[in-house]
Amino acid sequence: MTGVVLENLSWKKLSFLGICLLLLQLAFFLIGGLVAPAPSNVVTVIGTKCYDRGSVLHRNRWFIPRGRNACESLDSLDSSDAKIVDESITEKQVVFSFWIPGPRDGAERQMHPIFQSMLGVLDLDIEFDPANPVGREPTLQLDIRMGVRNKDDREDDWKLLAESVEDRTLQCALPAHDKAKGAYYNCELLQLFELGSVHHHFYLVNIRLPVNFVKGYNVGIGKVIDLTIHTIHQNGGFSYVWFSMKSAMFPMVLLVLVWFWRRITQLDRPANLLERTLFSLGIAMSILNLPLEWFSLSFNTPFMVLLNDIRQGGFYAMLLSFWIIFAGEHILDTVERNRLNLYWKHLSAVVFGCICLFIFEMCERGIQLKNPFFSIWVSAVGTKLALAFLILAGIAACCYFFFLCYMIFCVFRTIGTKRASLASMTSLRKSYYMGLIYRFKFLMILTLICAALTVVFFILSQFSEGYWKWADNEQRLEYSSAFFTGVYGMWNVYVFGLLSLYAPSHKTVVEIDAGDGSSEETVQLTDLPVTPTEASALQSFVSKAAQD
């Protein structure tokens, strides 16, 4: 019986490998904490109120807030404005124009594909006027057009990217102690758009607020003073660090994966369930590591965010499934293994949860590939469903973690009950199996730590993503770049370590430290019953103890 590398590797070599992996994990945290900036950045652009002069609305015309072809702007929407005194301006003639990004220190800034994605949320400044109050959750209808151009294009050469008429539910509140004319409502942020790529240098957004008294659109929305768009995108510095990490880890994990499977194929038995599952986990990790994001710097890839979410969801599914099988294979007190149907209940729950995540993702980002202004959060029912989904996903993740803790406790209890069998063994063989138990318990504790951080990362990422869609500014959830890169590095270190330690060993004898620490002796393990599906000496020991 050859066993696995974890069981046959000397303490000196095992300690060296563990220190290397620990230093690699520490490097991931330090890179995020000392090198990478914050994961995302916020750019705020205040809208310019453009005047669409004339009796006929210029629906297909671009209203540009600045430059040589700047629109005719209005200082305010009050009747005291010089441009409004002598004529009547309807709400359809007012176009709120946003040039993204805005200038800084007199210089024109540019967007860059390294920003990966862009989320835009709308902030309304509504002044309190007793003659025109905000109704109870009125419907705000937005007539939106988005155009794009690059730095080498003419200043007026804006190309249409998307246009739509979208409804949003306006929720505003006025403090009881601040109900004087001129006070401002506290309104919730509204999601405006979400782009899966930032391929162009400049973005132009034109918004009209047409009133329809028959259908109740833009009726009872109060006195709108200004509109502001907050755009959130990934920091360029963080993106370069993130891409570089993936580019470095992809060949490392892929090489150890190939080495692992090559050793499996050299055995005189087929791969067992645990080995096949670990190999699948390595494939999922390699797919997640594949640095496809570099292509987004040269090509327009609006599907990249959706593709990354699908890749990460697939990795979650494989990782959760592996933990169930990894713990379960050491709970069973029977020689027969290699049966996936023993875990059908656990794996069905994982697959069902991942399918729900996939459906939710397609309903949101899948539709946004065609209409970036769409969002499941825009309606009251959609918001409640989305919030319920996030909360249930968080609860399910916590329940999974506690169940995994229970399975690992059962593993420890099973192995603990077999330690009585060690009393009848020779001192060297007893020392060998005690070393196996200590190594395995340490690995299971690392698995628990990895599972706990993965659950925390999943919950924080889901709720941070939904923050701009439903939370208040005071309730924003933050997580640092160090945690982001650290958890990603932890997944790679964990998978890399498992593939290295659970690869079949070619040793037929193992080195065991003598009791006095003065020398090493070799013991050949040939007295344990081995089935064609067993991979480790620890599994053989548990099986033999169960039979005895």
Note the pLDDT of residue 493.
93
pLDDT digits (tens, 9 = 90+) for 345-364: 888 888 888 888 888 888 88
Alpha-carbon span 221 to 169, nearest angstrom: 10
pLDDT at 263 over 50: yes
DSSP 178: -
> Residue 385, class by beta-carbon neighbours within 10 Å (0-12 exposed, 13-18 middle, 19+ buried)?
middle
Alpha-carbon span 217 to 169, nearest angstrom: 10
- Tell me which range, 52-61, 426-435, 465-474, is most confidently predicted by mean pLDDT: 52-61
What mean pLDDT is predicted for residues 332-348? Answer: 69
What domains are there in the chain, each with its CATH number? 5-39+237-547 (1.20.1070), 41-234 (no CATH)
Note the pLDDT of residue 385.
79
What mean pLDDT is predicted for residues 265-282? Answer: 87
pLDDT digits (tens, 9 = 90+) for 195-212: 989 999 999 999 998 888
pLDDT at 378 over 80: no
- Lowest-confidence segment of 189-198, 214-223, 286-295 by average pLDDT: 214-223
pLDDT digits (tens, 9 = 90+) for 207-260: 998 888 877 788 888 888 899 999 999 888 999 999 999 999 999 999 999 999
Note the pLDDT of residue 423.
65
Backbone angles phi, psi at 70, to 5 degrees: -65, 150
Alpha-carbon span 51 to 36, nearest angstrom: 44
What pTM was computed for the model?
A: 0.83
Note the pLDDT of residue 260.
92
Q: In what order do the strands lie in the sheet with 223-234?
A: 40-46, 223-234, 118-127, 190-195
pLDDT band with cut points at 50, 70 and 90 for residue 464: low
Residues 6 or more apart whose CB falls under 8 angstroms from that of 263 comprise 503, 504, 506
Note the pLDDT of residue 289.
95
pLDDT digits (tens, 9 = 90+) for 144-172: 999 999 988 888 889 999 999 988 888 88
pLDDT band with cut points at 50, 70 and 90 for residue 517: very low
Work out the number of other CB atoms within 10 angstroms of the CB of residue 487: 21
Note the pLDDT of residue 520.
44
